[in-house]
Structure 1
Amino acid sequence: MSSTVIIANPVSGRRRAGLAQAPAEQVRAVVAGAQGACDLAYTKGPADAERLVREYVTGEGGRVRRVIACGGDGTIQQVARALAELSPSLGADAPALGVIPAGRCNDLARALRIPLDVTLAARVLTAGREAALDLAAVNGRTYCTVATMGFDAAVSRFVDRMRMPLKGTPAYLYGALRVLARYHAPHMTLEGDFGRRQGRIFMISTANTSSYGGAIPIAPDARPDDGVLDICIIEHRPLPEIVATLISAVRGRHAGRRGVELLRTRELRIQTDRACELWADGESIAEAPATIRVLPAAIRVVLPE
């Protein structure tokens, strides 16, 4: 077994499997050319990335120094989750996470300033530095970027189901337009280091990184290495105000608008008056009631110099 393993999703970004394998092969060629042999394994179904990480890291073929996730934010989430669960027992021998963005939105790569071009991202793996990375967990399930509930979760659900050739922010904006007219904001109770908030909440985002939906800066000051979560709460308001706030949010200019509150906390507890999903890293991850916690320095990640 080589010291570097690539875990790749062959259908990230909803591409046909035969076409989606090219990025992972390209990454293997770059890494192998600089560091020697590099293993490559493709996922075959949901949660398969976690299984592959455990098999490689705990196997008897020698120490794995880096596990590279090649795919969308969901694939990267699975690899990061498995590494976070294994890291406490491995200590200094725990592998670092490498990120190759190959999905719809690639929000973690953007937050870490990893190039979206596959070749340039692969070069980061050969010449980059390792640093600690915070993760977060909702009801015990780990995520990397932003967990959303309310309107933006409803949009995520719509975008996930739609069959259109849209990616990133255009897909989110199209989904927002389709969902907005029929969306009804739930009543929520929110508790954290900031105290308590109650009322009809249009949407709430709990951010480990600053953006989601392909570079929408919902929590502009969020950093994945500061040991806290940034919270963006948008209250229920009349439709014209909501539309104006959403337009501002896409540009990262929503701070200070009426009905918008940006907070920080190490833990957030959410209760709702009806069933509500939470989405994170492009996937449905939990339902309310929910407890979200930051996981400081949960894993190490390879970053550009």
Structure 2
Amino acid sequence: MRQFTAIVNPTAGGSAAAAALLDVARPLREAGADLETQYSRSLAHAQELARDAGARGRVVLAVGGDGMAGGVGGALSGTDALLGLVPAGRGNDFARALDLPTDPAALAVALLNHEPREVDIIEVESAVHQRTVALGSVYAGVDALANRHANNATLLRGAASYYAGGLRAVTTWRAARYRVTVDGQEHLHTGYTVVAANSGYYGSGRLIAPDARVDDGLLEVVMIREAPRRLFFALMNELKTGAHVRRPEVRILRGKEIRIAADREVPYGADGEVEAILPVTVRVLPGALRVLC
């Protein structure tokens, strides 16, 4: 019987995280599993708690959104520790990529019985953030600005907050000139964004990179070039299904190490959490994390 340590940040996600954990905790304990809960003071403290629990042979449950999953997952990467996710954030995009059950009882069954899967992670380096880890994607441009607006939203949650943030960001965005280096080869790009995706989803269920796989050892690089704003709004709607990749304004590359720079201050984000300015270098770490899914 697996033993679990749930890590919760009481200041991020609030009652949603507590409620999500409670719903999963009940069937876990009814099955006879040992479950302890640790409350973190910060993401760094959550990582410290995760490393300690993993070293004790316990399954570490990241309770929260993609940022919490990435932070805890980064702490466990390169070890034999098992990560479990209890989605309770705005986006939950990495859980979506893993096809995790949304029903708490079904999720408990997966955590108790399913075999771990080795998945890739993204190592992120910049002048500001010397080394961080992301599970889903790193994105530089209008989507990073949209994510900032979504995180600051008080009246909207989930997909609605991302959509509203996107509309606000697009109306003020001017095209940036990017230099995107993929495995040593430089590509010039003028447009809205560059996304280095390990998972296909970002922005609360938008399928930015339909062919991305979390265990293929590669990152999908999605570049959306300059276009009339009305076209970009149409493209935003196509992100629901991934149909945008058929447009000539969208270019997709694949690689293991990507450096993104720009001719002006362009924000980038990672899994909805990191907010910084280009340049940034990202690289895939194949099979670095063991996840129950």
Asked if structure 2 preserves the Cα contact closer than 8 Å seen for 1:109 and 1:116, the reply is no
What per-residue deviation string (whole Å, max 9, x for no partner) do you get for residues 1-28 of structure 1? x842111233544x4x4x6423223333
SS of corresponding position for 2:54 = helix
Tell me which residue corresponds to 1:8.
8
- Render the CA deviation track for 1:237-258: whole Å, top value 9, x for unaligned: 2223322322222331011212
Q: Does 1:189 align with 2:179?
A: yes
> Aligned pair 1:207/2:207, yes or no?
no
Preserved CA contact (<8 Å) 2:17 2:63: no
2:118 matches 1:127: no
The aligned counterpart of 1:71 is 64
Change (3 A) 1:194 1:256: farther
| Deviations 1:92-120 (CA, angstroms, capped at 9, x unpaired) | xx211111111111101110010223333
Gaps of 5+ in 2: 126-130
Please say which of residues 282-291 and 128-137 is displaced more in the overlay. Answer: 282-291
Q: What residue number does 1:90 align with?
A: none
Superposition deviation, residue 34 in structure 1: 2.5
Of 26, 31, 34 in structure 2, the residue corresponding to residue 34 of structure 1 is 31
User: Is the 1:28–1:40 Cα contact (8 Å) retained in structure 2?
Assistant: no
Q: Deviations over 1:33-79 (max 9, x none)?
A: 32432211122334321121123334xxxx32411111111111111
Task: Name the CA distance, whole Å, in 1 between partners of 2:228 and 2:34.
Answer: 59
1:189-228 superposed Cα distances (whole Å, 9 cap, x missing partner): 0011483221322111111000111110000010100000
Contact in 2 for aligned 1:31/1:126 (Cα 8 Å)? yes
Question: Contact conserved, 1:153 with 1:278, CA < 8 A, in 2?
Answer: yes
Given that 2:63 and 2:87 are in contact with CA atoms closer than 8 Å, whether structure 1 keeps it comes out as yes
Q: Which of residues 6, 13, 22 is equivalent to 2:19?
A: 22
Q: Aligned residue for 2:162?
A: 172
Match of residue 52 from structure 1: 49
Q: 2:220 is matched with which residue: 221, 230, 234?
A: 230
Alpha-carbon distance change, 43 to 119 in structure 1, aligned in 2, over 3 angstroms: farther
CA distance in 2, matches of 1:105, 1:256: 25
1:239 pairs with one of 218, 229, 235: 229
Counting aligned pairs with the same residue, the percent is 33
Is the 1:68–1:99 contact (alpha carbons within 8 Å) kept by the matching residues of 2? yes
When normalised by structure 2's length, the TM-score is: 0.91
> What residue in structure 1 maps to residue 128 of structure 2?
none
Q: Displacement, 1:285?
A: 4.9
For residue 132 of structure 1, report the CA deviation from its aligned partner.
Answer: 0.4
Count, aligned residues: 287
Alpha-carbon distance change, 285 to 150 in structure 1, aligned in 2, over 3 angstroms: same
One-letter code aligned to 1:27: V
Contact 2:54 2:82 in 1 (8 A): no
- Find the partner of 2:141 among 145, 150, 159: 150
248, 257, 262: which one aligns with 2:247: 257
**How far, CA to CA, are the matches of 2:239 and 2:49 in structure 1?**
38
Q: Is the 8 A contact 2:176 2:264 kept in 1?
A: yes
Q: Which residue in the other structure is 1:83 paired with?
A: 76
Distance 1:35 1:136, change over 3 A: farther
Matched, 1:217 2:207: yes
SS in 2 for 1:38: strand
Deviation of the 1:182 alpha carbon: 1.0
Q: 1:147-185: CA deviations, max 9, x gaps?
A: 111010010011111211321x22211111122111112
What stretches of structure 1 move > 6 A for 4+ residues in a row?
none
Provide the TM-score with structure 1 as the length reference: 0.87
Structure 1 residue runs without a partner (length 5+): 88-93
- Specify the alignment match of 1:91 in structure 2: none
Q: Distance in 2 between matches of 1:157 and 1:51?
A: 27
- Counterpart-to-counterpart distance in 1, 2:58 and 2:287: 17
CA RMSD of aligned residues (A): 1.9
Distance 1:254 1:56 in 2: 42
Q: Secondary structure at the match of 1:7?
A: strand
What secondary structure, in the 3-state scheme, does the structure 2 residue paired with 1:47 have? Answer: helix
* Cα separation, partners in 2 of 1:300 and 1:46, compared to 1, 3 Å: closer
* SS at 1:250 equivalent: coil
Tell me which moved more, 156-165 or 227-236: 156-165
